[in-house]
Amino acid sequence: MEDNDSILGGVRMLGAKSFKKRAANTVARLAGKLDLEIAYKKPYDPEARESGLDWPARAESMIGLKRMTNIQDCIASIIKDDVPGDLIETGVWRGGATIFMKANLNAWGDTTRKVWVADSFEGLPAPDASRYPADTGDELHTQTGLAVGLETVKKNFTRYGVLDDRVEFLVGWFKDTLPVAPIEQLSLMRLDGDMYESTIQAIEVLYPKLSSGGFCIIDDFGSHASQAGQAIHDYRKEHGITDEIVQIDPYGAFWRKS
């Protein structure tokens, strides 16, 4: 009772607002010492989840149902039209989209194409504002929740029964891994790098390898990470690409290479 009385007395003395502020600061300091991250739980919103507008706590992907369906539709067209080439995603988080790619290939009985899983597996790079001014002030590299390790992603593939020798992992920054990756031809490339740097580095290396009839999907085309959309517009303008961009949902977009 003495402890409770003391706490209540403190609340009365400092005022409820001041007490809550002190309590929150104490929790934040303790979380930092324990290497924990404070998260805020929001009510489940089915419309937000469908369009990939929220950040699920446990799911393998945050892209939502509409962008997942887009992957499924693109792969169906690739198989039916016999478009040659492997599939790749640059920026995979927990691996959900690439797991779904491999599951779709398995469902179609495709035993030749590979799925390339490209990520630093340690989060996003700090912005290089001198080379990529569009990324100035970007703070995604501070988001520890975006850093998902390689072994975690492999375990997710294993849990869904789709990890085999046709899944290739490219570990490291895109500027280092993509130019030397032994990828000959692509039928689908999905870019989810958020930043201008990560997006432009990926499309510059991979788009020349995309087959005619193949699909280029941009996860962050219309999101808060407008740098990705800017990188795409710049690349398309520089290379005279006029294929129609189709919006998937408020964030994602794609086009089919003519």
Between residues 39 and 115, the one the model is more confident about = 115
Whether residue 248 contacts residue 236, with contact meaning beta carbons closer than 8 Å, is answered with no
Q: What percent of the chain has pLDDT over 70?
A: 76
Residue position matching structure tokens 């492997």 = 86
Q: How many Å apart are CA 88 and CA 100, to the nearest integer?
A: 12
DSSP letter assigned to residue 244: P
Res. 23: pLDDT tops 80:
no
Most confident segment among 25-29, 47-51, 127-131, 197-201: 197-201
The predicted pLDDT at position 13 comes to 42
Whether residue 198 contacts residue 243, with contact meaning beta carbons closer than 8 Å, is answered with no
The predicted pLDDT at position 147 comes to 86
SS3 153: helix
15's tokens: 């005022």
Question: What is the per-residue pLDDT across 199-215, written as a single tens digit (0 to 9) for each?
Answer: 999 999 999 999 999 99
Q: How many other CB atoms sit within 10 Å of the CB of residue 27?
A: 12
Between residues 11 and 196, the one the model is more confident about = 196
**pLDDT confidence of 20, banded at 50, 70, 90?**
very low
Question: What is the per-residue pLDDT across 65-93, written as a single tens digit (0 to 9) for each?
Answer: 999 999 999 999 999 999 999 999 999 99
Res. 28: pLDDT tops 90:
no
The predicted pLDDT at position 225 comes to 56
Q: Among 78, 172, 50, which residue's Cα sits nearest to residue 120?
A: 172
Res. 254: pLDDT tops 70:
yes
Whether residue 187 contacts residue 83, with contact meaning beta carbons closer than 8 Å, is answered with yes
Q: How many Å apart are CA 88 and CA 72, to the nearest integer?
A: 14
The predicted pLDDT at position 224 comes to 54
Whether residue 258 contacts residue 212, with contact meaning beta carbons closer than 8 Å, is answered with yes
How many residues are there in the chain?
258
Whether residue 124 contacts residue 194, with contact meaning beta carbons closer than 8 Å, is answered with yes
The predicted pLDDT at position 234 comes to 97
Question: What is the per-residue pLDDT across 30-48, written as a single tens digit (0 to 9) for each?
Answer: 434 444 444 445 555 545 4
Res. 158: pLDDT tops 50:
yes
**pLDDT confidence of 236, banded at 50, 70, 90?**
very high
The predicted pLDDT at position 77 comes to 99
Residue position matching structure tokens 């630093």 = 120
251's tokens: 């964030």
Q: Among 123, 108, 129, which residue's Cα sits nearest to residue 196?
A: 129
Whether residue 179 contacts residue 152, with contact meaning beta carbons closer than 8 Å, is answered with no
